Amino acid sequence: MGIEDVARVAGLDPDDPRLVEALTHSSYAAEHEVTSNEQLEFLGDAVVDLAVAEYVVRSWPDVDEGVASVVRSRTVNEASLASVARALALGEHLRIGRGVRKERGAERDSLLADAFEALVGAVFSVRGYDAAREFVVAQLAERIDSAARHGDVIDVKTHLRRWAETQGLAPPEYELSATGPAHDVTYEARVVVGPLVGVGRGPSKKRAEAAAAAAAWEGAQRAGVT
């Protein structure tokens, strides 16, 4: 896929400075004294999270917070975003420094995932949130749907317990507290399993515990321990 194709898919002009910036790694920026894609990657990271969360809630309006969090974490992660970047051939157009290029840095998941988020940030900067959301959904919808259909996403508490067993850890322990009047109680659950801690809230004990389990599981994935 040529740079013109990348620009077309993203709805940007091939010569747009923001597109060029999105494809400029910090190693190249340091060598040539230009702006890197780090700021756009920061913006894109937030946009991707919001766009995916919005898609999940709109597609499954009855989904609880715990399940939604697991679907999002299975979609918005380094490996998944790097795969999308490869499909867009971003590595072929990524400007990287000599040392990183020598180490085949453009093939790294981390650089590719960052490049995709930076591209999303560029779309957001140039065309606004709606266009950026549409771009994210177009690239990730199939993966989101697949994550949502995955059998063990339905019971995240069971999934976390099974993971603890495989790690030789004690079962997850949940602590519950409640706030608010009797007719409008909000429950907060805190779960501890090995080195992981998750906190979640919900209108029922079950949903609060599921949200806490999802938070712990998402933390495990981000830490690379799953």
3-state SS assignment for residue 16: coil
Q: Which of 21, 41, 45, 65 is catalytic?
A: 45
Q: Are 165 and 153 in contact (CB under 8 A)?
A: no
Task: Count the Cβ atoms, other than its own, within 10 Å of residue 116.
Answer: 28
List C-alpha distances in Å: 96 to 24, 48, 165, 200: 7, 23, 43, 40
Our answer to whether residue 117 is catalytic in this structure is yes
Contact between 52 and 60 (Cβ < 8 Å): no
Distance of alpha carbon 147 from alpha carbon 206, whole angstroms:
22
Q: Which of 21, 41, 114, 117 is catalytic?
A: 117
CA torsion through residues 85, 54, 9, 35, sign: negative
CA distance 27 to 105: 10
Active-site positions read: 45, 117
